[in-house]
Amino acid sequence: MAKTQMKSYSLAEMKDKYIGKKGTKEREQYEYELRMDVLGRMIKQARQERNLTQEQLGELVGVQKAQISKLESSANSATIDTIIRVFKALKADIHFNVTIENRQLELH
C-alpha cells in the first residue's frame, strides 16, 4: 500500500485562505478581535492572581461586576479609559506599542 503525502499549511497560509490576506477588512477585524480576546484573558489572569472576585475588581474600578465579566470575556466593548483603570486597580504595569509607517513610537 502506498502512503499518501498530505500537504501541510502554515497558520499564516490558513489565515490568508480562510480569513483574508493581511490588509483586508476581514483580516484586520479578525486580528483586532483576537487582540481584544487576549487582553480580556490577561485581565482575568491578573485579577485571579490578586485573589479578587469580579465584584471586588468592579468596586475598585467603579463599575458593575457584569462589566468586568464582559471585559474578561472580550475587551471589544471597553473604552481604553476603562481598560487602563482596570489595570491600575490590579497594580499592573501597562505598556503600549504604537507603529506608524513602520516606525515604532515610544512614549516617555
Domain boundaries, the chain: 12-105
Please tell me the CATH superfamily of domain 12-105, with its number.
lambda repressor-like DNA-binding domains (1.10.260.40)
pTM above the 0.75 mark?
no
Report the half-sphere exposure of 39 (CA within 13 A, side-chain side).
Answer: 24
- Per-residue pLDDT 10s for the chain (108 aa) are 667 788 888 888 888 888 889 889 888 888 888 888 888 888 999 999 999 999 999 999 999 999 999 999 877 778 888 888 998 999 988 777 667 777 766 654
The residues facing 95 across adjacent strands are: none
